[in-house]
Every structure is written in C-alpha cells, then in structure tokens.
Structure 1
C-alpha cells in the first residue's frame, strides 16, 4: 500500500508529518492492505492561519483499490491529526460497505 501525502501552503508538509500520517493510515487501514494499491492524502487548512472559527483542518483521502473505482472520505477537525484519524475511520466504513457487498474483506 503506497501512501502519498499532499499539503496546501497553510499546512506544514515536513517528513515527520508525512511519517505520522502514514503510520496512522497503515494502522487503521491494515485489514484492507491487500486490496489497497494506493492512498492519496490531501491535507488543507480551510480557513488558513488568518481566520478563526469552526474546525478547519481538512483531510481528504482517496483510496485506490485493485481493479475497482477509487473511494474517498474526508473529515474536518481542530487539528490535522484529528482530521486524518476521522477520515481514516470514515474510509474503513466506506470500504466495509463497498467490499462487503462484493464479499471482498
């Protein structure tokens, strides 16, 4: 399972962040690793650093499955870590529904 982490200009995209995101996704998506070929992660700050307000860190996950259409899930949260974890759990539910219908998990 290859994981690619992308960030916008308002989210720090250093190697440490990428490794944390990869570790979180590998742990949460582990039971689907045989079906997943690639995970694209898009991290963004919806309001940027100049605004305050409701949760604005966004994680969009796009999972590519062998021989199937991509599946996506997203989460808004107070922190990037919370957004990644939330999106990953939403992805698990989406994969359970999609692969469960096919008898694939």
Structure 2
C-alpha cells in the first residue's frame, strides 16, 4: 500500500508530518493492505494567512483494487485533529467496503 501526503503552501509539511500520517494509516489499514493499493492525503489551509475556525482541511482518497476511490474530508482548527478525523472516516469507509466485498 502506497501512501502519498500532499500539502498546500500554507502548511508546513515536512518529514515529521508525513511520518505521522504514514504510521497512522499503515497501522489502521494493515488488515486491508492487500486490497488498498494507495491512499492519497491532501492537507490544506482554506483561509491561508487569514486564519479562522475549522479552516484546516484534510482530504483522504483510498484506492481499493477494482473499485472507485473512496474520498473523505475532515475540517478542524488543528492540523492533527483534521488528519485524525479524516483517518477515522477513511478507515471506517475502507473497512465497510472491503468487508462487504468479502461477503
């Protein structure tokens, strides 16, 4: 399973953030690693330098072999909360989709 982390120019990405996302998703989706080919993570600050409540967005797109991508988004005022919220949603979506497919 490949994990790709993308940030806009308002977010300080770096290795620590990428490592956090990769560890979180690898641990959570380990049971589905044969079905999930790739997870793309997009982290953005919607208001940029202006600030504001819940302006940090994390969108995750999981690609499951033979199916259309699953996409979820979570907004927060904290980058880690946005990532964790999106991760919870994508994990739940992947689990439901794969278990349904397995029968």
TM-score (norm 1): 0.87
Task: Count residues in correspondence.
Answer: 103
CA drift at 1:68: 1.4
Q: Distance in 2 between matches of 1:97 and 1:89?
A: 12
Q: Distance in 2 between matches of 1:26 and 1:41?
A: 13
Write the deviation string for residues 28-87 of structure 1: whole angstroms up to 9, x where unpaired. Answer: 222222211111110101111x22322111111011111211111110112221111111
- Contact preservation (8 Å) 1:58, 1:83: yes
Q: Which has the higher helix share?
A: 2
Q: Where does structure 2 lack aligned partners over 5 or more consecutive residues?
A: none
Instruction: Name the counterpart of 1:39.
Output: 39
Q: Distance in 1 between matches of 2:32 and 2:79?
A: 23
Instruction: Name the counterpart of 2:91.
Output: 92
TM-score (norm 2): 0.89
Q: Which portions of structure 1, spanning 4 or more consecutive aligned residues, are displaced by more than 4 angstroms? A: none
Instruction: Name the counterpart of 2:27.
Output: 27
CA drift at 1:9: 0.5
Instruction: Name the counterpart of 1:2.
Output: 2
SS of 2:5's equivalent?
Answer: strand
Q: Distance in 1 between matches of 2:26 and 2:77?
A: 22
